[in-house]
Amino acid sequence: DAGVIQSPRHEVTEMGQEVTLRCKPISGHDYLFWYRQTMMRGLELLIYFNNNVPIDDSGMPEDRFSAKMPNASFSTLKIQPSEPRDSAVYFCASSLKRSIDPYEQYFGPGTRLTVT
């Protein structure tokens, strides 16, 4: 398996533009997580899905952020409109079960977003 795949790896955009980040989880995994990582705040859980259904989106910073999982092999995180403070590395992770038990989360390589 190729692991969790994220695209693009790098994104530079201007303030106000729409940004869409993409994730393909590991085949067979039924949990998918979106994280944001910055130097100041570290890793933050934004939202997670179970069997394509959003379970907890309490980490989504504001209405400008939205996430979808139309099927078991694809998810998107959209920011509209983007702002400079959204600049961060966004990680997608998947697991067989939530990491509350021994099943661990497997992280993708991340998308480095820069909003100018």
Q: Where do contacts with another protein occur on this chain (CB under 8 A)?
A: 4, 41-45, 56, 91, 93, 98-102, 104-105, 107-110
- CB nearer another protein, residue 53 or residue 100: 100
Strand partners, 74: 71
- Cα–Cα distance measured from residue 115 to residue 83, given in angstroms and rounded to the nearest whole number: 6
Q: Which among 9, 94, 5 is positioned nearest to 48, based on CA atoms?
A: 94
> How far apart are CB 35 and another protein at their closest, in Å?
8
Q: With contact defined as beta carbons under 8 Å apart, do 4 and 90 qualify? A: no
> How far apart are CB 81 and another protein at their closest, in Å?
27
- CB nearer another protein, residue 55 or residue 72: 55
SS3 115: strand
> How far apart are CB 5 and another protein at their closest, in Å?
11
